[in-house]
Amino acid sequence: MKSEIQKFIVENANTKEGVLFLPTSGKPKSFVLVVDNFEERKSTLSEIAKPITQLGIGVFAITFSGEKKVADLNLLDFHALASEIEYASRFLAENHMPISVVFGHSFAGISALLATPDLETAKAVFTLNTPRFFPDVVSQETDEILENLEKKAALFPLEILQKIEIPHHILHDKNYKKITCRNAEILFEQATEPKRLKIHESENALKESVNYLTNWIKENLETSEEKNDESLADIVATLKKEDGFTTKIKAGEHEFLADEPKSMGGKDQGPTPYDLLSAGLSACTVMTIQMYAKRKKMSLDTVEVHTTYSNDHLEDCENCEEEEAKIDVFTRKIKFSGDLSETEIKKLLQIADKCPVHKTLITKTDIKTELIN
């Protein structure tokens, strides 16, 4: 999964930032527009986006700005964010792919519902922990805030739910005390068919909600989920003709891209194959050294390994008469930080050569190739 900040134009030529999450292939079939409350929840947004992008669907996340405390809720403008949702939808359609799903979390779910009737390409809307009764959330705040929020409530007439003609999935965390399940029940009662109410009872309601969403996507949207059922390999590399050198790598539960630099005809969207080889040697070296240092109780704080690769002409070997004879050379430079004696440093440099990847590279290796029918 790749992510980047992208700006889009909103009302009065102002700009708004969103976080764009793309599948490793970089070409999503459509988009899920996620609307959330808190800007500091970038890790949560990644948690939502990762399983969705693995289906070949992009995610674009926008947030309220500045509401980091409950006391700021009286400043929220739900209609303004609803307008931003519409602008974001237009931006995605013009620059990427149209949205298929809207996912609104907590108070941002109100704006998602306000915007949904005007989102022509949306096929479903999902809300999680979206309130109807504001006092549930601010019961310990001042009377002034309560009064302001009651006025805000009037800006979200339940009648708007009856304008939503696409499937409406109302999700709620039973264990979330600030916004009670009664809010979800009222939204469900007022919503029109098709609708569904799902109350999560697990400790991780967000994860359960994302699983619920991805299952719906699999059943209802065109996806490009790539299954490697025929391969039991730990590492799978996939390259489509139209992608040039940009290769999708799946290593266990991790996905990333390999590529070539632009000077070699690539897009420079990931490390080169030899970069990955050097990275494997570097990573294995630091792990091996730190493991040994901990076992020997050495005061090693940090170890850095800087590795470069070259393909040098042979100077002294049995076939040196061949003009084009070459040898692969990995130059590894190691830096230690910590209270280490000269004897300990010398020993750690020796341990670097015990790294399993190091041993693999200097040992004769056989590669077997088989056809998958």
Q: pLDDT tens across 48-63, in order?
A: 888 899 898 999 998 8
0.85 cut: is pTM over it?
no
Would you give the end-to-end CA distance of the chain in angstroms? 29
According to the model, what pLDDT value does residue 137 have?
A: 46
Q: How far apart (Å, rounded) are the C-alpha atoms in residues 64 and 80?
A: 10
Among 108, 65, 68, residue whose Cα is nearest residue 85: 108
Asked if residue 312 has pLDDT above 80, the reply is no
Of the candidate CATH numbers 3.40.710.10, 3.20.20.80, 2.30.30.360, 3.30.300.20, the domain formed by 273-362 belongs to 3.30.300.20
Evaluate whether 2-220 and 273-362 have a shared fold. no
Point out the least confidently predicted range of 59-63, 253-257, 284-288, 315-319. Answer: 315-319
Q: What CATH number has the domain spanning 2-220? A: 3.40.50.1820
Neighbouring CB atoms inside 10 A of 158's CB total: 14
pLDDT at 74 over 70: no
Lowest mean pLDDT among 6-10, 73-77, 119-123, 214-218: 73-77
What average pLDDT does range 229-233 have in this prediction? 48
Yes or no: say if 44 and 61 are a contact pair by the CB < 8 Å rule: no
- Where is average pLDDT lowest: 1-10, 86-95, 141-150, 162-171? 141-150
User: How do the domains of the chain map onto residue ranges?
Assistant: 2-220, 273-362
Phi, psi of 141 (to 5 degrees): -90, -175
Residues contacting residue 183 through CB under 8 Å, at least 6 positions apart: 130, 131, 132, 133, 136, 172
